[in-house]
Amino acid sequence: MSEQFYSDARLYDLLFPGGERAVDFYRAEARRQGGSVLELGSGTGRKLIPIAADGHPCVGLELSPDILAEAQRKADVRGVKVEWAQGDMRDFDLGRTFELVIIAANSLLHLQEAGDLVSCFRSVRRHLAPGARFVFDVFNPSVRMLAGADGVRRTREALAFQDPERGNVSVDVAETYDAAAQVTRGTWYFSADSRPDYVVVPLELRSVFPQELPLLLSLGGLRLVERFGDWSRGPLTAEAALQLCVCESA
């Protein structure tokens, strides 16, 4: 249900600029591990291109062909070599192992079924070299925020951006939360001054609650060794925005 959201790579990069702290975190993990890095749901290469520029052999696995083409273009512009592969993180076989596997920026939350998450974790495990780590970040669900998803369309001031082709762009979002599925179902509306709602796309994101996460990982043959609540490696608390997880083979 979220493929359409990622069919416009240019819009994606305008909507979510920045993220330097996350990039620094993943670069540090790559440095600590040394060697090769695989990113699943690699997007336009925000994390992987800087990691490859640091000298790590990198592979990016991504579902969307449009996003992959933009990642390739950006890597070429920077003169950085990254191997891009089209594939589904739910089940993949690249025929080799890596020192570090990462899934950044909530990409994992596009897998809605518990079975899909477990299948992804099993695939990750098959791609871990001895001593390798699997590191990912997902948001820490806030029941207050989930309960506030009432289906009403609201402007998200913080997401407004400047598009060199369209001028000022405002972003409205209407979301509901399906508690049985643990999935937030949203519709995102992009409006330029001259053209209201020039893009209207659905986006769905699962919530993974802190107590279920280690169990899902263990079913995939993985062990959670550390979990942080922010990019400074602070503890996971009730108020923490993130679950920043470091795992290894069980």
Ligand X SMILES: C[S@@+](CC[C@H](N)C(=O)[O-])C[C@H]1O[C@@H](n2cnc3c(N)ncnc32)[C@H](O)[C@@H]1O
Out of 33, 38, 43, 101, the only residue in the binding site for ligand X (CB under 6 A) is 43
Please report whether residue 110 would count as binding ligand X according to CB under 6 A: yes
Please report whether residue 30 would count as binding ligand X according to CB under 6 A: no
* Residues facing 62 on adjacent strands: 86
By CB under 6 A, which span of 51-59, 88-96, 150-158, 161-169 interacts with ligand X? Answer: 88-96
* Cα gap 117→91, rounded to integer Å: 10
Please report whether residue 41 would count as binding ligand X according to CB under 6 A: yes
Please report whether residue 6 would count as binding ligand X according to CB under 6 A: yes
Alpha-carbon Rg for the chain in angstroms? 18
Phi/psi zone of residue 59: left (φ > 0), alpha (ψ -120 to 50 degrees), beta? beta
DSSP code of residue 114: H
Please report whether residue 63 would count as binding ligand X according to CB under 6 A: yes
With respect to ligand X, which residue has the nearer C-beta, 92 or 189?
92
Q: How far is the CB of 234 from ligand X (least distance, A)?
A: 20
Q: How far is the CB of 152 from ligand X (least distance, A)?
A: 24
Q: How far is the CB of 193 from ligand X (least distance, A)?
A: 27
Query: Which residue is nearest to ligand X, using beta carbons?
Result: 43
With respect to ligand X, which residue has the nearer C-beta, 119 or 191?
119
Please report whether residue 182 would count as binding ligand X according to CB under 6 A: no
Q: What are phi and psi of 142, to 5 degrees?
A: -105, 120
The three-point CA angle 90-110-183 to 5° equals: 125
Q: Which amino acid appears at position 63 of this protein? A: L
* Cα gap 39→15, rounded to integer Å: 21
Out of 25, 30, 38, 42, the only residue in the binding site for ligand X (CB under 6 A) is 42
Please report whether residue 88 would count as binding ligand X according to CB under 6 A: yes
Cα distances from 242 to residues 95, 139, 186, 210, 228, in angstroms, run 32, 4, 20, 10, 7
By CB under 6 A, which span of 60-68, 93-101, 153-161, 206-214 interacts with ligand X? Answer: 60-68
* Residue among 45, 79, 73, 70 nearest 59 (CA): 45
Q: How far is the CB of 6 from ligand X (least distance, A)?
A: 4
Out of 25, 36, 37, 107, the only residue in the binding site for ligand X (CB under 6 A) is 107
How many of the other CB atoms lie within 10 Å of CB of 224?
Answer: 18
Please report whether residue 62 would count as binding ligand X according to CB under 6 A: yes
* Cα gap 203→186, rounded to integer Å: 5
Binding site for ligand X (CB under 6 A): 6, 40-43, 46-47, 62-64, 67, 88-90, 104-107, 110
